Structures are given as C-alpha cells and as structure tokens.
Chain A
Amino acid sequence: MDFNDTPDEAVFRAQVRDWLETHATRRQRRDEKFGDGLDREAYLAAAKAWQATKAAAGYAAIPWPKEMGGLGGSPAMQVVYAQEEAKFLVPGLIFEVSLGTALPTVAMWGTPEQKARNLAPALKGDHIWCQLFSEPAAGSDLGNVRTRAEKVGDEWVINGQKVWTSGAHNADYGILLARTDWDQPKAKGLTMFILDMKAPGVDVRLIRQATDEPHFNEVFLTDVRIADSARLGPEGQGWKVMLSTLMQERFSLGENFSGDLYDQLVDLAKQAQWGGRPAIEDRCVRAGIADAYIRQFGVDLIVRRGMSAISKGVSPGPEMAAVKLIGARAFQTGGALAVELGGAEGLIAASDLGQQWRMPQMLWISGPGARIAGGTDEIQKNTIAERVLGLPGEIRTDRDVPFRTLEG
C-alpha cells in the first residue's frame, strides 16, 4: 500500500511537470479556464494544436503501446499526467470520446488497415471522433437500435437517426451501431461501422442542452454509403463491440468526476454571510463540505483502486459503476450547496456575480445530465446488482424474438 509516487512515478512526474512548464501556462487562479474569449473555430484549432504537441511527446495516450503511438506507460502514469496537467491552462472536452472510447474500440476490433489509417491521426488531434449509439427509441435500451444498414454490393447503405451524440458537430469520424439483420433478436442483428462524418447524407444538428450549452447533437443519416472495409468487427457482432466500448467509457468516466469542489465550497462559504456571520461557521454548511469531500475525493480513491488493479493485470470490473453513481450525485448536491451559499444573490448567474461561481453553478445545472449520460443511475444500479451481486436479470420479453416482430 503506497499512495505516494514510486521512484519511477516521481521521475515521470518531474519530467511531465518540466514539459508542461515549457509548453503550457500554469493556472494562477482556480476559476481560470482555458479559451475564454475564443470562438468555436479558434478553440478547436487550439485544442488540436495542443493535442499534436502532446502526441509528439508521447503524452496523448500514455498507456498505449509505443507502436500505436502511445508511451507504453502504466495507468498510474496516466493519473500522474492528468494530475499535473490539471494545474495548467489547457483546452479540454474535445478529444475525450476519441481517445477515451472510440479509438480504444478501433484498436481492439479494427483490421490492421483500419488501425494504421485511424489511430495516428486521432492521437495527433488531426481527427476528432464521436460515437453514434443512442437513438430516439434506444437510450438505456440500446439494443433497440433501429438505424438500418443494408448491404448493396461492397457497400452498406445507412438510414436512420442518432441522438445525444456528444461532439458530433466537431467530429471527423464516428463509430456507428446499426442493424444489419432484422430477423435476429435485438442484440444479435447489430454491426459496428466506422462512419466518415463528412460523407454525403450525414446531417448533424446541434441540440441546445438544459445548461444552455451546445455539446451534443442529433445526427440524421440518409442513404449514407459505407464501404464494407469500414465495418468494425464481424457482421452481427456489433453488440459485443459496443459493450467493449462502454467498458472503456465506464472507466474513463471515473476521471471526469474528480475535482476540488469541496475546496471551492470552502472559499465560497468564507465569502458568504449567513445571519451576519461567515457561512463557513454554520454547522450545516460545514457538514455539507465534509460530505462533498467524502463523495468527490472518494471517487478519486475508487478510481485509484481500479488503476492499481489494472497495473497488476486485473480488470477493474463493473464495480466501477459505483463511481458514476457517487460522482454524479456529488456534482448535483455539491453544486446545489454552492448555489445555496449565496442566498438570494446566489441566484445571480456567474457572468454577473463573479467567475468563482461559474464552476459550482455549472455543476449544479449539469448534474442531472451526469446522472443520465453514459448509463443512467438506474442502469448503473442494475449493472451492480446483476454483474457484481449476481441477482437475476430483468424479465425481457423482447430478447429472444426476431427484431422485426417487435413494436416500433
């Protein structure tokens, strides 16, 4: 049991820190954020440039083998890098899907040609990827995908609609789950494809989220043609390919729930006055800060346990589902406490109230999304109950019948 760096990790940390000092600007204040004032095009260009810089140094995909453009490092080294990078002003939220889920899926299932063609440009930031899984009638019940892929000669013709596709508006490629056999039961007739997002018939429309930010999209697919050489994995195995993607996602999601909201709460509670005294002296506030720490730092700790398991060659497994349950709830309750601290003035948006309120307000309004995206709380609980605790699966009357017989 050692929570500190091993000698090797300490050397790596020093090396990362030196490199970051040379290539990025250290964050001066907690509420500083990269890219204030940049428009979408300029932000995207900056994010791609930063990704290229990282890739040149091997930091784009630290645990990947060197021949795939990674550093061949340990998961712990990935954590070290992330801890150090968090202290610097760098762009984020562009390459998470590419590197966190889409490309690992290509690496796992792709042909040598697909890997040679796709991995390097994605690592360098030349290509941005998205994942086209969810549909209007296939959210938690992803097996209900109705986007149709029909084989015509050496090509597949795609028709259907995807939704909640994060980053599709920036993406060059996507991994697409479509139905290729309507006579098979729902999970058996699916196939995964690599989709060129610039292909004719792909229509991406931004969705305005409850947070008032654009982040995800509807993607309409009309007679889009995909060569059979862009099929990812065997025909009819799309469900299995998709599950391997989601396992990646569950793991990478854990990292998204770390942070220092409890420290921010301390700062805000010192500024706020409750009944003529600093809110930080109030027992309820103090208890809320302690609970925020337990949830949020606890998520960090669970992720580190998973990392330690991986470095010993043991898969971290579905218990990582607890991370998302706890982490998303931490955002929602911690963000709400921060907003409450301000009393009536706490209702003034950060743009008028002050930058230090931006992140807590964002956590409060985006918390509900975190409890839905990447598997709802209820799906996570089913996963834990069935895969960890060995309880019976849900009764599924639609599982073993040909998909075409199901109600639309």
Chain B
Amino acid sequence: MNFDFSEDQRRLQEEVRRMLSDYSTSSAVRRVLEGESLYCADTWTQLAGLGALGLALPEAHGGAGMGLLELCLVAEEAGRALAAVPLVSSIYMAAEVIRRAGSEAQQAEWLPRLASGEAIATAMIAAHGQHALVVEPSRIENGRLFATLNAVPDGMAAQLCVVLVDDALVLVGLDGAGVRRTAQASLDPTRPLAQIVCDGATVELLAAHGGQQIAATVTDGAAVLMAFEQVGGAERALYAARDYALERRAFGRVIGSFQAVKHKLADIFASIELARAHAYYGAWALATGADELTRAAAAARVAATAAYTLAAEESLHLHGGIGFTWEMDCHLHLRRARWLGQIIGNEHYWRERLATTLIEKAA
C-alpha cells in the first residue's frame, strides 16, 4: 500500500501550480466572468504547452500516455486557480469518450487536436436523472441527429460535441449545418453554458452499442477529476478565509483568535481532508480500472461537493461585508462550487448512486 502520489507526480503538480498562479490570475478569470471571452485562452495554451491536457491520452495520438493520476493533480491545481478553461468538457469528458469508444482513425483525427488545445470538444452523455428540467429525448433518423441539449458546458467555445443517444455515442460538428447554438447565462459565468439545437445535423458514429456503459464510466472518471478540482478550490477558499482572519481586527483582536472563527475553519479543514481521502481513493480506482470505481467516484463526488460548498459559503461569510462584493473572489468560489457540484448531476443524485453500489455490494 502506498496511498499517495509519487515525487515525480508532485513535481508535475508544482509546475502546473506555478504556471497557473502566473496565468490564471483573478483578473484573467474575471475577463471570462465579464463575458469578454469564452475561456482563458492564455491559461489553456499554457496547460497544453506543459502537456497537461494530453496527460491521459495515448502517445500515438499526441498525448503523454501517462495516465489519469497525473491528470488528477492538474485538476486539483485548476480548481485551486479557479481556472476558467474547458477541462471538464473537453478533457475529462469528450476526450475520454473518444479515447475509449473511438476507432483508431477517430482517435487520430481528434485526440491530437484536443491534447494541443487547438480544438475544444464537449459532451452530453448524462444518464437519466442528471438533467431535471427541459429534457427532450434525442433521436437519430437516417444518420441525422434531432436533439435539444441544454446547459451544455462550453457549448459556444467547442467545435465538437459527443452525444449519447439511447445506447449509441455520436460525434456532432457544432459548426455544421443543422446545428444552432445559443449562449445560456450561467450561474458561474466563468464556466459558460449553451443550448445546442440539432435539427437534422450530420453525425459520425463512435459506438453503435454499449454507449451507456462507456458514458457511465467516463462520468465516474469525471466525478473523480472534478473532486480534485473541488478539493483544490475548497483549499484555496479555506486559506483565503484563514489569511483574512489573521489580518482583520475586531474587539481589539484579530478575528482568527475567536473560537467561533477557529472552529469554523477547522470544520472546513476536516471536511476537505475527508474529501481529499475519497478523491485519492477515486484516483486509484480510476487509474487502475478497479471494480470499485463507481463507489469511489460517487463517494469522492459527494464528499468533495460538500467540502467545496461549505468552504465557499463559509469563506465568504468570514470575509464579512467585503466578501459579499463583486470585487472579492469569494463569490467566484461560491459560483464554481455550485457549478462543479451540479453539472454532472447534483449531490443527491450521486449519494443515491453511492447507496446503490453499497447495497449491491452487500447483497
């Protein structure tokens, strides 16, 4: 048993962290917040330059062929830096579906471009129950897709979308005929959403059968990777509150000396430790393809969603009135915690998924 990342993996994480602190600054993230761009192009280019986007993709297709453990650490740093980039959509979801379901030719066509950041893809592969409003079943007729897809992450920035239709997985070019897309205002504007209407769009088949199984595995993997983003974001919010509590004075003392404040910060810390432990277990299950993946991913997602929500809410609270202003980044964490915690199914959906695996295991 060695329940930790290796020295080499930690060095890579350090490198990514340094780059992100230079590029994914508050002002860079705020340009996306204010709608000036769809994502931080500089940050995205730098991630690609470090090879971070293709870490888990095969070397033959422009990746580093290293595996998902390294990508987990990139995710943690992206979360910490509030990076406004299409990692969830293009890398955790779309690239993973293409890697697992695509033919050699399809992988050769798309994976190098996703790894280099030159192309952005998104994915709508949610199982039933993750979308709760405006659900219309997608259908394919004569090789053409009819679908109304809502809350598509990075739907305006992407050139390509992976869609699950019944048990099939297909690729849709988003700039082609029969596709209409409209930006949808996002509760986290740094992670934009779009509506994509396909009215007879041409599709390319990735997998005719077994799509639901692949989609479920990829979604479990995304849950683990997003748990690392959540842990990174939660830790950033915790230490922002800690720093503020050491500086802000009231009643003749720094507020960090009051037990009510100390205990709140300790609770956040404990919540993050719990989430981190489950995220590590999820990383192991993901990297080794262990049977425990669904259980580990669901636990990591529930614990990490709870941790980031708590950290974001209480970090804002501990900043007092100043924390409730647009200029402070507290609300960015609040928004990101909500977005990450809900884009692939909310906490309740995943808690039920966890319960199901525990009950099946006991049977």
Contacts and interface: CB of A to CB of B under 8 A. Distances in A.
B265 A6 contact: no
A391 B246 contact: yes
Nearest to B5: A1
A76 B290 CA distance: 21
A291 B277 CA distance: 15
Interface stretch (B184-192, B280-288, B334-342): B280-288
A386 B262 contact: yes
A309 B3 CA distance: 9
Interface of B is mostly: helix
Interface stretch (A96-104, A111-119, A318-326, A360-368): A318-326
A312 B287 CA distance: 22
Interface string A292-312: 011101100110110111011
B278 A301 contact: yes
A294 B242 contact: no
Given A381-B267, A385-B265, A391-B262, A6 B355 contact: no
A88 interface: no
Nearest to A301: B277
Interface stretch (B20-28, B103-111, B122-130, B253-261): B253-261
Contact of B269 (A298, A301, A312, A388): A388
Given A76-B1, A384-B266, A289 B352 contact: no
B262 A2 contact: no
Contact of A287 (B263, B281, B355): B355
Contact of B358 (A79, A293, A322, A394): A293
A302 B1 contact: no
B351 A287 contact: yes
A373 B162 CA distance: 54
B242 to A, nearest CB: 5
Contacts of A2: 1-3, 284
A108 interface: no
A73 to B, nearest CB: 13
A286 B359 contact: yes
A336 interface: no
Given A263-B362, A267-B362, A385 B274 contact: no
Interface string B330-363: 0000000000000000001001101110110010
A382 to B, nearest CB: 7
A385 B253 CA distance: 16
A283 B349 CA distance: 11
A301 B281 CA distance: 8
A282 to B, nearest CB: 10
Nearest to B267: A381
Nearest to A295: B274
Interface in A388-403: 388-392, 394-395
Scoring A3, A280, A312, A394 by chain B CB atoms within 10 A of each residue's CB, the highest score goes to: A3
Interface centre among A267, A289, A294, A322 (most CB of B within 10 A): A294
Contacts of B274: 294-295, 298, 302, 322, 326
Which of B262, B298, B355, B359 gathers the greatest number of chain A CB atoms within 10 Å?
B355
Interface in B1-50: 1-6, 9
B273 interface: yes
Contacts of B281: 3, 301
Nearest to B285: A3
Interface residues of A, number: 52
A308 B3 contact: yes
Given A79-B1, A294-B303, A308-B1, A301 B358 contact: no
B87 to A, nearest CB: 21
Given A1-B284, A1-B287, A391-B245, A290 B266 contact: no
B195 to A, nearest CB: 31
Given A1-B283, A294-B278, A307 B3 contact: yes
A385 B318 CA distance: 14
A1 B285 CA distance: 10
Interface string B221-260: 0000000000000000010001001100000011011010
Given A1-B2, A287-B355, A293-B299, A390 B242 contact: yes
A348 B359 CA distance: 26
Contacts of B265: 384-385, 389, 391
B4 A309 contact: yes
A290 to B, nearest CB: 4
B60 interface: no
B270 interface: yes
B263 A385 contact: yes
Contact of B284 (A3, A6, A79, A312): A3
Contacts of A262: 358
Contacts of B263: 378, 381-382, 385
A100 B204 CA distance: 63
A385 B355 contact: no
B69 interface: yes
A194 to B, nearest CB: 35
A183 interface: no
A338 to B, nearest CB: 14
B130 to A, nearest CB: 17
B302 interface: yes
B241 to A, nearest CB: 10
B359 A294 contact: no
Contact of B259 (A301, A312, A382): A382
Given A280-B359, A283-B352, A290-B354, A395 B2 contact: no
Contacts of B278: 294, 297-298, 301
Given A290-B299, A293-B358, A391-B261, 18 more contacts: A1-B287, A3-B288, A76-B1, A267-B362, A289-B358, A293-B354, A294-B354, A298-B278, A298-B303, A304-B277, A325-B270, A381-B262, A381-B266, A384-B265, A385-B265, A385-B266, A386-B262, A389-B238
Interface of B: 1-6, 9, 69, 238, 242, 245-246, 253-254, 256-257, 259, 261-263, 265-267, 269-270, 273-274, 277-278, 280-281, 283-285, 287-288, 290, 298-299, 302-303, 348, 351-352, 354-356, 358-359, 362
**Top 4 nearest A-B pairs by Cβ distance?**
A301-B277, A385-B262, A286-B355, A381-B266
20 contacts: A1-B3, A1-B283, A1-B284, A3-B3, A3-B284, A263-B358, A266-B358, A280-B359, A290-B351, A293-B299, A293-B358, A294-B299, A295-B274, A308-B4, A384-B269, A385-B262, A389-B242, A391-B246, A391-B257, A394-B257
